[in-house]
Amino acid sequence: MKYRTIGADPARRREVSVLALGAMLFGSVTDEQTSFAILDRYVEAGGTFIDTSNNYAFWVDGSQGGQSEQLLGRWLRSRGVAKDVVIATKLGARPLAPGTGYVDNAEGLSAKTIRESVERSREQLGVDTIDLLYTHIEDRTVPTAETVGALGELVAEGTVGLLGVSNHAMWRVERARALAAASGVAGYEVLQYQHSLLRPRFDIPFPLFEDGSLGSAGPELLSYLRAEPELTLVAYSPLLSGAYVRQDKPLPSDYDHPGTPARLDVLRQVAKECGAGVNQVVLAWQIGGSLPVIPLAGASSVTQLEENLAAVDLELTEDQRARLDAAH
């Protein structure tokens, strides 16, 4: 395994594995025995960075979520590895009532909600400190200063280690970070957005948000990452839910443009040259790139996890990387 540091403050920064494990469906779609087996193998291979959310997976059974956090809590207690791994969770998108969604009925990011949600997550995970806490989606009904202040208090208390942000417009991320700096409190240090080798069209809105730029890491976010070297991008859905390799998983409509076939052609060429799978090349492209990107990949079996883990040691040549980058 290889490792990367997230966070800039020496007192709070953490070293994590360059491949993060997504636990979104653990405890719901993926049963406990299989989930435990995947988690055990991930840690055995040197993996240390596990991702969940307080609303995973509410859509499976019409609940408010929490199954993933609860399963991770049981696993952490049974294995005694809480100090050896970094657990990231999210708040803000938990449905307020069972059977509803988070687009129009989310818990939001008020100071009161943040405090209550963090306490619930700590209890479900069975930890004193949440290693990394993300604000999951925007809440434009609450002043940014209120959200920033509430998060800063939790870090100062030691209840939360690092702060991250997901699915927010970049101008709001910058505003929040500026407010935190001006107030002398901890600010966002990790960004979590959808990012892969294939690029979506940004003139087609992301299905769950008003602004098509909110879900995916576009040129503005990548430029921001270059300008702010202390930030790290955690890339969710790097393998596009299996669409690179599965005929039954078509690419989303926002990938239907002339650049997609060109990039797929080069991807397949490079995979053949490496004697690797296309998924492994995509992950290796992210892990070894010039920008600080940590792919966040889920797995529904140990076999899938093994394939992903093999990408960590796959070294692309400069020529291969240049061809992947240039294809459009």
pLDDT digits (tens, 9 = 90+) for 103-150: 789 999 999 999 999 999 999 999 999 999 999 999 999 999 999 999
Domains of the chain, residue spans: 3-257+279-322
What does the alpha-carbon distance between residue 287 and residue 321 come to, in Å, rounded to a whole number?
A: 12
Q: How many CB atoms lie within 10 A of CB 262?
A: 13
What does the alpha-carbon distance between residue 34 and residue 304 come to, in Å, rounded to a whole number?
A: 12
Lowest-pLDDT choice from 149-153, 253-257, 277-281? 253-257
Q: What is residue 212's predicted lDDT score, i.e. its pLDDT?
A: 43
User: Which are the contacts of 279, defined by CB distance < 8 A and separation ≥ 6?
Assistant: 239, 244, 245, 307, 308, 311
Q: Report the pLDDT averaged over residues 155-178.
A: 97
**pLDDT tens-digit readout, 216-249:** 899 999 999 999 999 999 999 999 999 999 989 8
Among candidate residues 34, 17, 23, 126, the one with its CA nearest the CA of residue 80: 126
Q: Report the pLDDT averaged over residues 157-172.
A: 96
Q: What is residue 106's predicted lDDT score, i.e. its pLDDT?
A: 94
- Read off the pLDDT band of 207 (50, 70, 90): low
- Read off the pLDDT band of 15 (50, 70, 90): very high
Catalytic residues: 56
Residue 209 has pLDDT above 80, yes or no: no
Q: Report the pLDDT averaged over residues 61-75.
A: 97
Q: What is residue 102's predicted lDDT score, i.e. its pLDDT?
A: 80
Q: What is residue 208's predicted lDDT score, i.e. its pLDDT?
A: 56
What does the alpha-carbon distance between residue 90 and residue 145 come to, in Å, rounded to a whole number?
A: 19
Residue 205 has pLDDT above 80, yes or no: no
Lowest-pLDDT choice from 27-36, 162-171, 199-208? 199-208
Q: Report the pLDDT averaged over residues 57-67.
A: 95
For 3-257+279-322, which CATH class? alpha beta
What does the alpha-carbon distance between residue 115 and residue 120 come to, in Å, rounded to a whole number?
A: 9
Q: What is residue 328's predicted lDDT score, i.e. its pLDDT?
A: 87
**pLDDT tens-digit readout, 182-201:** 999 999 999 999 999 999 98
Percent of the chain with pLDDT over 90: 90
Q: What is residue 214's predicted lDDT score, i.e. its pLDDT?
A: 64
What does the alpha-carbon distance between residue 231 and residue 15 come to, in Å, rounded to a whole number?
A: 14
Q: What is residue 62's predicted lDDT score, i.e. its pLDDT?
A: 94
Residue 276 has pLDDT above 70, yes or no: yes
**Rounded to two decimals, what is the model's pTM?**
0.96
**pLDDT tens-digit readout, 293-314:** 999 999 999 999 999 999 999 9
Q: How many CB atoms lie within 10 A of CB 272?
A: 11
- The whole-chain average pLDDT of the chain stands at 95
- Read off the pLDDT band of 213 (50, 70, 90): very low
Among candidate residues 1, 47, 58, the one with its CA nearest the CA of residue 24: 58
Residue 172 has pLDDT above 80, yes or no: yes
Percent of the chain with pLDDT over 70: 97
